[in-house]
Structures are given as C-alpha cells and as structure tokens.
Structure 1
C-alpha cells in the first residue's frame, strides 16, 4: 500500500516523544504530511517539537492536546489517512504510584482513539505501540539459569526469543493498562473491521531519547556514564533485554503501515532479537569500553513486574513485511552516545564557561 498518494496527514499521537518524533521525521522526509498530537508533559518533548519544525516546517503540524480529551482526537482523526498511536504513560513506577492516571491515559485514551476512527474515519489504518510487559514476568525462577553475567532460559524453544504465541500475563498497573489497550486495538479489527495492528515493543534506544531511571534505560545508563553519576540497578543486573535501534524500529512501523492489507488484524513482537540481547551488567561494560568512563553503580530490590529475561522473536514481522533489525548494538550505542554528548555534555560545557 502506498501511503504517500494523497495529501492527508499521518496522525501520530505522542509524536513529540522519542519514538514518535523519529517516526514523524522519517515520514516527513519521505514526503508524507504529518499531524502530531502531544500534551508536551514529558521532559524533552518541546525540544523534539522544535527540532521537527526546524527540519520540516509546514509538512508537520503540531497540535497541543491529550488523548484523554476526545474532541481534539476526533478533529485530527477525521482528516488523517493513518493513525500511529504512541501517546502513553510509559513508566511502571508511575503506574504503581497512580494507577488511575495510568489507566486513563493508556486504556481510556486508546479507546478514545479507536472510537474516533470507528465513527469518523473507519478506513484509516491504526498502529498501536504496545509493550513486552503484557507478557508479565514470563519465566519463573526455576526456568532460567545464570550463565556468567546474564540469565538464559532453560527451555531451548526460547532460543529464538518470545513469539506472539506467549500467553498474556498482565503484571503491574502499567502492564494492565497497556494490555487492555493492546486487546482493544486487536479486537476492533475483529469486531468492527478496522485496519489495526499492534506492535509489542522491547527496548528501543537511540538519538532524541531523554532517558531516565524509570524509562529509556539504555540512554539513562549512557548519560549517567558521561556525567559520572552513580547508577542504581534494580535486581542483580543479570536480567536480559534485546535492544532495537530507533531507526530500525521506525522502519518496522513503516513496513507494517505500508503493508496494512497484509498486517491488519495482526499482533507483532518488535525488538532487536537474539543478536542484540544484552544484560544490564554487559551493557555497563560495553558503555565503559565505548566511552572510556568507569561507571559506578549499586543494587536495589527488583521492581514490580521486572522480567529476568526477555528477548524478542521477530520472525512473524519478518515473514509479513520482510523487515529485520539491521543496526548492531555497538553501532547503535555509538550513535546514541554521539547525540547525548552533543546535546548534554557540550551544552554543559558552554554553561560552565558562561
């Protein structure tokens, strides 16, 4: 499906966030009109908005609004040729502190988007940013083994990663709210015939990620190293994730969108796969090698819903679209380090001289 044939915009909710702004930039670069809906509540999003406008001008329209408010959602959905829904509350810790707010944003906000599409623009494809947290802790302690500085599953079936066939086990208010939204998006394809697709994402990292302790952990680790700040590791540091560079993630989203007649009604796991799997302790070693900085860190208790191991099986997405991750972890870390250095460390030096 060629999504660039008409002048209607692609709507991105949360389009000034990390993944959203990279998607907006890529779409505008290839010639699409883009409309962004963002409430500008998170750190860095206003800067991302300015970056988008400086690069693309009128090709990107940025509207301040919230998915919890159905009026701006309806107005933008009416005019959209596709909807990429990324607006969300993204931190497990915040969901534990305020589960009602987490539900209103993630579950109710998603339902507002779906209803706007169903009632006002039912032909528009809808892609939803879900999470691997819908699978819960996934593996019991007696199903994993610690080998050197990482956990590995004992079952060889998981060597290729977690597939979409894994049962849902919603854990933490965040997992529940995103899981509910995930299932609503999937069910609106079945019940109402909407052209929806769900992408359950693992750890995405790369430029324009303002990482912190609660979300965007790879950027948080790297920025802490550059600043000489002490890290806190929740758990023992042997927990494993697969990391996906944001440029590859964007190409996956576009592959699903451009092949919507094939991908509609589907759920896909999206991550870096086994070749980009890394434990927290291994990542610290990689960052130390790449930056030359020795990272100081300590340990704290595991957090609710923390997975000791999660690696994505991307074979379903590859079979449906031909997409596969291309950026090795070391290469992606170098790109992120370059951006963080330019954004934070050079600015810090200039402020010190002022």
Structure 2
C-alpha cells in the first residue's frame, strides 16, 4: 500500500496477543501506525501491549473493546488501511466447557466485525486467522505408526501435507465456531465484494507467546521445562504438527494484506509445511537439549486431537511468494532465549538435572 493509505493505521483485532503483538511490532518498526483492539482478558497479553508502547510510543493506539461490539469498533474500522482479525476464544477445552460463549466470540464476533467493515470501510482488506481444526480429526486419513511419530499412508499427503481441497469437517465446538467464521469471511468476498482472505493456521510459536496447556503448546512445554515443572503429554506424544515461527506467520499476513486483490475470497493453509513437521516427542527431545532433563506426565487423548497435521502451503507460496524460512530447531532456540529473559519464569525452580524420566513409553 502506498501514498495516503500508508498514513492510516493497520487495525489488529486481538492485537495484544502473541501473533498480533509481533505483527504490530513489525509494522511499527517500519514507521507505520497500528490500532490494537484487545480486551486484555488473556493472561500475559498486557505485557505485550506495554512492550509495544515502550518501543513505539503513541504510534500504537489501544482500544479496549470486544469484537462482538460492532458499534464500538466503527471509528477504528473506518480509519483503518487494513484489518487483521486475530481475536478469538482459542482453546478446544474451553469450547467444550462453554460452547455458547465460544460461538459468541468466534462466530458471532467475526460476523459483527464483517458487518462493521461492510458498512463503514468496505474497501479495507481483511485477513482472518482461521485454524486447521476446520478439517476435523482427519480420522479417515489412513495412518501408520512409527517408533516416534505417525505418518500418512498416502504418499502425496506424506510428501506435501494436507491441502485446502480437503473437505471441511468441524469437530468440537471450537472447530465449529472457527469454521463458521472462516466461511463467513469467504462468503463476504463473494456476496458483498469485500477484500477478505483466510489463513488456516497450524501451530505458531515464538517470542511473546505465553503458552498454556490448552493453547500455545510449544511455548508451554518450554516454559514448564525452564521452570523445572512437569509437562503433561496427552496421548502417546507421537502426534505430528508442522510448527511455524511467528516471524514467518507475520510475513504471511503482511503479504496477504499487500496482495489482497490477488487473493481476495481465497483460503490458505499457513504452517511450517513438511520441512518443519515434527512429533511432540521430537520437540521434547530438542527442549531437553536446551533446558535440561524433563519431567513428563501422561494423560488420556483429547477430544478431536489429530494424529497428524502438516499444512500443504504450496497454494500460499504460489500466490504470494511466501515460504517458511525459520527451521524449527533454530526457532525453538530463539523462543528459549526470549523466555529466559522474562521475569515470569522466576515463579518456578529448575528441577535437579538427575531427577527425570526422559522418555514416554508406548
């Protein structure tokens, strides 16, 4: 975007969260302006907002509002040069405990935002953060179990990952609510001509992530390891994910905003792809090398958990020239270095290096 458009702020809904804060910092570091809409309800995100303000001063504006309150967002939407919608209820476990609230935030909130854009700024590009959970548990995808990881029997999926042509199959209330929002964002391009696009994300990780057991598992594992606290593994730990460093996710969102007219009304998988496909066990091995011996607990499988999800990112690469640039091992080391500078880690003490069982048993 050039000219007067660059003088307007980028609106990031959910902008104090992990991905939002990194995206905001990227834009602000180049001299741009950002409006952050965030309720600050998620623990730790107030740290991200304070960090942005400390680094960039009054070029970052915060509006404490809920995405469901369309009228409250009107001014911010009206003046925005573009919108990235990251606000969500993000945990499958929470959606199972309170499906109505999950739907209200993820589905109704997204629709309220779309309606606000349609009324007050219909030319603004909007990129929505969806999830690979819209593909369900992939239970029909034949798998074979190796010593350390699951892998698809199908050679095409094994080589390239799961593509956007995969039928949608909403499992868990979270999958349903995000799937509904995903489809509304695409349909508002068809029905109303909005300049929208969807990113179906895999596991994003990196600095400024305050991971929990329910969401942000890579950071959660590292936080627990650096504190010397036990890590709970649900299932057998052979589940495979394609983890993507947040710097690469930020690059994808910025590329989609800049190239919106080439990608409007389209959906893309956003993940690390086959080059960054890794089992939970392999991640734990690498964390152990970074943080010392681990204490591992094991629990039952979670509802809707995928044995394997690796994003086929070829559509995104072809459309926008994007690719994942950060190797997952280097990315984990980067996250560990950042975490070790954070005061909140002082709440736990490292476990003695000799007191741990290193391996999960089958």
**Which TM class, normalised by the smaller chain length?**
over 0.9
Alpha-carbon distance in 1 for matches of 2:336, 2:109: 34
Partner of 2:311: 312
- Whether the aligned pair in 2 keeps the contact of 1:8 and 1:33 (CA below 8 Å) is yes
- Whether the aligned pair in 1 keeps the contact of 2:68 and 2:113 (CA below 8 Å) is no
1:244 aligned counterpart, secondary structure: strand
Partner of 2:8: 8
Change over 3 Å in CA distance of 1:341–1:319 after alignment to 2: same
- Whether the aligned pair in 2 keeps the contact of 1:139 and 1:309 (CA below 8 Å) is no
Q: What TM-score comes out, normalization by structure 1 length?
A: 0.95
- Whether the aligned pair in 2 keeps the contact of 1:204 and 1:245 (CA below 8 Å) is yes
Cα displacement string for residues 79-111 of structure 1 (whole angstroms, at most 9, x for unaligned residues) = 111111000000000000000110010001000
Alpha-carbon distance in 1 for matches of 2:315, 2:139: 21
Question: How far off its partner does 1:3 sit?
Answer: 8.1
Alpha-carbon distance in 2 for matches of 1:209, 1:18: 5
Partner of 1:170: 170
Partner of 1:219: 219
- Whether the aligned pair in 2 keeps the contact of 1:4 and 1:32 (CA below 8 Å) is no
Partner of 2:112: 112
- Whether the aligned pair in 1 keeps the contact of 2:227 and 2:347 (CA below 8 Å) is no
Alpha-carbon distance in 2 for matches of 1:278, 1:199: 21
Partner of 2:280: 280
1:299 aligns with 2:298: yes
Question: How far off its partner does 1:6 sit?
Answer: 3.3
Question: How far off its partner does 1:7 sit?
Answer: 1.5
1:241 aligned counterpart, secondary structure: strand
Alpha-carbon distance in 2 for matches of 1:140, 1:299: 26
Detail structure 1 runs of 4+ shifted over 2 Å in the superposition.
Answer: 1-6, 344-350
Question: How far off its partner does 1:346 sit?
Answer: 6.5
Partner of 2:270: 270
Partner of 2:355: none
Change over 3 Å in CA distance of 1:345–1:75 after alignment to 2: closer
Question: How far off its partner does 1:337 sit?
Answer: 0.2
Alpha-carbon distance in 2 for matches of 1:268, 1:326: 17
Change over 3 Å in CA distance of 1:345–1:128 after alignment to 2: closer
- Whether the aligned pair in 2 keeps the contact of 1:73 and 1:112 (CA below 8 Å) is no
Alpha-carbon distance in 1 for matches of 2:175, 2:5: 37
Partner of 1:148: 147
Alpha-carbon distance in 2 for matches of 1:92, 1:2: 40
1:324 aligns with 2:323: yes
- Whether the aligned pair in 1 keeps the contact of 2:241 and 2:278 (CA below 8 Å) is yes
- Whether the aligned pair in 2 keeps the contact of 1:4 and 1:31 (CA below 8 Å) is no
Question: How far off its partner does 1:46 sit?
Answer: 0.7
1:342 aligned counterpart, secondary structure: coil
2:323 aligned counterpart, secondary structure: coil
Change over 3 Å in CA distance of 1:3–1:234 after alignment to 2: farther
2:6 aligned counterpart, secondary structure: coil
Question: How far off its partner does 1:296 sit?
Answer: 1.3
Question: How far off its partner does 1:71 sit?
Answer: 1.8
Cα displacement string for residues 29-59 of structure 1 (whole angstroms, at most 9, x for unaligned residues) = 1222110100000011111110000011111
Cα displacement string for residues 1-41 of structure 1 (whole angstroms, at most 9, x for unaligned residues) = 44874321110000000001101111111222110100000
User: Would you say how many aligned residue pairs link Structure 1 and Structure 2?
Assistant: 348
Alpha-carbon distance in 2 for matches of 1:25, 1:212: 23
Question: How far off its partner does 1:349 sit?
Answer: 8.9
Change over 3 Å in CA distance of 1:256–1:146 after alignment to 2: same
Alpha-carbon distance in 2 for matches of 1:242, 1:235: 18
Alpha-carbon distance in 1 for matches of 2:53, 2:230: 35
Partner of 2:69: 69
Alpha-carbon distance in 1 for matches of 2:3, 2:218: 32
Question: How far off its partner does 1:140 sit?
Answer: 3.4
